[in-house]
Structure 1
Amino acid sequence: MTDDRKLRVVQWATGNIGLRSLKAIIEHPRMELAGLWVNSTDKIGRDAGALCGLADTGIKATNAVDEIVALDADCVVHMPQGTDIDLLCRLLASGKNVVTTRDDFHHPPLLPSNVRQRVEMACREGSASLYSTGVSPGFVTEALTVPLLSLSRRLDCLTIDEFGDVSTRASPEMIFGIMGFGEEKLDFDPRRLDHLKANFGSSLAQVAAAAGISVERWNAFGEFGTARQRTEIAAGWLEAGTVAAQRITIEGLRDGRPVLRFRANWYCTRDIEPAGWDLRASGWRIVVEGDTPLEVAISFPVEPEAYAAFTPGLTAHRAVNSVAAVCAAPPGIRTTVDLPQIVARL
């Protein structure tokens, strides 16, 4: 921002991450909450402050799209469960910049041509920008890798390992229903692999294109680890022989070998078969192989029981902190490599 005017910001959706984002916008010294869109009918008409544990703001929640489109606002922090291109185009064409945590826009050349054309046209019409960000993919696959690569002149391989200990998550629906822990199957759903390859592959492809890293094709595969014995976790019981750990790899290949790689290591216990998996505490490890080898480890100094309350901020705060840079950017689909460094105004 080049002046002292507060940015008027709309929060779109109030799930776990959306509520954290809403709170951050209300408390931000250079932002003013302009509106709030909610999906749940029981939240309609409630004050935004009350929804996130703060004092009343005078801004009432609505699920009327027309009301949000008509608002005088600089930016929409967009955190829905799915991507609605028609809606995004309406917001952009109305002159509102959009920071979204949806993963569809990390690398615009990979978008379907008709979708990219529609979004870019809406950006031009409203003189607005769209930026897709988050923590993973996003921060760890883009914002953190770019400065690490700035120390290199030859890259052999960059590997990002994400570690997630979900044993303390007291959500049976998520652990057993969505993530598939406790099941006996040992085959990954190809649709799930394709989804993760699209999300993480597009994010890594953005960095590859900017750095001139040649990638011939992207590959995704998954591996399971099974519990060696019956194990109790916060969400329930894992029977011996059922899925207790998952490792999903998305890699960009050059000459048949990975040059960029993301591995998601999610687990409920470390006592698994096959042995030998390097399952660390929740966080990330980034290894750069080349003429300037590096290894960076990031962990979370909070109790595992606090992860459910702590982790929404990782995604929400990155999005909120991006608002000023996106509002100042030229119209169009913006990416981490063409935006200036995101600096938080605390």
Structure 2
Amino acid sequence: MPSQSHRVVVWATGGIGSIAIQAIRRRPDLELVGVWVHSPDKVGKDAGELAHGEPIGVAASNDADSLIGLRPDCVVYAASAPERDAAAIPDYVRLLEAGINVVTTSTTRLINPAAYEPSSWREQLAAAAEKGQASLYASGIEPGFAADYLPLVLMTQSHVVESIHAYEIGLYDDYAVADIMMDGLGFGRPLDFQPFVSIPGAIAGEWQGQLRLIADALGAEVQEVREYFDRRTTNRTFDVAFGTVAAGTCAAVRMKAIGVIAGRERIVIEHVTRLAHDIAPEWPKGVGDLSYRVVVRGEPDIDCTLAVTLRDPQRSAIPGMKAGAGAMVATAMRVVNAVPHVVAAPPGLLSALELPLTLPSCAFASA
């Protein structure tokens, strides 16, 4: 891997973008040269201050042409919106065609580019990468690590694998994006409301790429993706970050994407998401407010639980976030740490299996 410094632009200054800005500033092998913002109110403001830190002398801009004109080696893309893929794909194409590598946490289904749909968008991205001789890589903690990459690492210990079950079990009371929580997942809505995730094909569409990544790595083929969706209500009214959750409305969601191989349910990715710990007590429980678990049945049996936390949440780049703060840092670092490797990689759409371990550089220097 080259040892020179790489010029980086961060695209958006929300939670992930703010963490990325702070992390890049601590890296001698990365140089922050620009920051894109959506809001006109943020234009011209210091990126360090937007990232809840000290001024760093880099002004935020909403002029994409001027940022592309800086000729960065890579863009850390962290923009988020309900229509995130539809909004992000044209940005990726433009950046890749300009010869700029992209690492992103926004389009999570691109963690397995070969399975990304719609295929027309995948073809656009592949053509843009070829034209600009640049690469695109998507990652995060989930998707991107806990339910796909981590199981594969664990199975380097396996002789026989019968099944793989990966869980995310989390308390999401501090997640403030109302349209995702209420319209997307159905929290705070009565059970006769149909959230997006309950529409047939939505769960499979979101997680089938991970299922196929695991199966492909093991030399198997997913023949069918089955879906499971369930909800539980609360018997009391309480406030969370996105608003008030009334008694009788949804306060816990359970989702599964199930990969069928040779007629058997072999790979399961399950998310159990609550707004309070005491709701749906019969469902799987995790460690603390947010944890991940991988259970591999076979020879040998493997059971691994992962929790990522911040010892001092007050130092988080996401003020007010508790349970998810550690996971947000982990998500940002999955792509920030990958920047030098993506810059060095052959052009194209990359998965984690095509990169070496994306370890942090100078990790002890900032400890």
Query: When the two structures are superposed, what TM-score results if normalisation uses the length of structure 2?
Result: 0.85
Tell me the equivalent position of 1:85.
89
Between stretches 288-297 and 230-239, larger displacement belongs to 230-239
Of residues 208, 213, 225 in structure 2, which corresponds to 1:206?
A: 213
C-alpha separation in 2, matches of 1:232 and 1:264: 23
Q: Counterpart in 2 of 1:222?
A: 229
Tell me how far 1:195 sits from its aligned partner. 3.6
Q: How far, CA to CA, are the matches of 1:190 and 1:54 in structure 2?
A: 36
Q: Equivalences for 1:89-168 in 2 at 5 Å?
A: 89-101=93-105, 102-111=107-116, 112-167=118-173
* 8 A contact 1:69–1:90 mirrored in 2: no
Structure 1 counterpart of 2:2? 2
Deviation at residue 176 of structure 1 after TM alignment: 4.8
- Displacement of 1:283 after TM fit? 0.5
Alignment match, 2:266: 259
Specify every segment of 5 or more residues in structure 2 that has no aligned partner in the other structure, as ranges. 314-320
Change (3 A) 1:239 1:33: closer
Judged with a 3 Å threshold, the aligned counterparts in structure 2 of structure 1 residues 162 and 333 are, in CA distance, closer, same or farther, namely: same
- Cα-to-partner distance string for 1:34-56 (whole Å, 9 max, x where unaligned): 21111111111112222224443
Task: Give the whole-Å Cα distance in 1 for the aligned partners of 2:345 and 2:61.
Answer: 29
Aligned pairs for 1:1-346 within 5 A: 1-3=1-3, 5-81=4-80, 82-83=84-85, 84-101=88-105, 102-111=107-116, 112-167=118-173, 176=182, 179-185=185-191, 189=195, 192=198, 194-227=201-234, 229-230=235-236, 232-235=238-241, 238-272=245-279, 276-280=282-286, 281=288, 282-301=290-309, 306-307=322-323, 309-345=325-361, 346=363
Q: CA deviation at 1:113?
A: 3.6
> Which consecutive aligned stretches of 4+ in structure 1 deviate over 6 angstroms post-superposition?
170-174
The number of aligned residues is: 343
Q: Tell me the amino acid that sits aligned with residue 89 of structure 1.
A: V
1:180-230 C-alpha deviation (Å, 9 max, x unpaired): 323321675465553442232212312211221231111222111233x32
1:80 partner SS: coil
**C-alpha separation in 2, matches of 1:190 and 1:56:** 40
Q: Output one character per residue of 1:3-57: Cα deviation in whole Å (capped at 9) or x when no partner.
A: 3x21111100111111111111122221101211111111111122222244433
Q: 2:48 touches 2:54 (CA, 8 Å); kept in 1? A: yes
What amino acid is the match of 1:313?
V
Letter in 2 for 1:43: K
Amino acid at match of 1:223: D
After TM superposition, give the deviation of residue 284 of structure 1 in Å.
0.9
The answer to which of 162-171 and 116-125 deviates more is: 162-171
- The separation in 2 between residues aligned to 1:89 and 1:239, in whole angstroms, is 43
RMSD over aligned Cα atoms: 2.5
1:173 CA displacement: 6.8
TM-score normalized by structure 1? 0.89
- Residues 77-114 of structure 1: per-residue CA shift (max 9 Å, x gap): 01122233232122112111110112242222323443
CA distance in 2, matches of 1:14, 1:75: 16
Shift of 1:233: 4.8
- Greater displacement, 16-25 / 326-335: 16-25
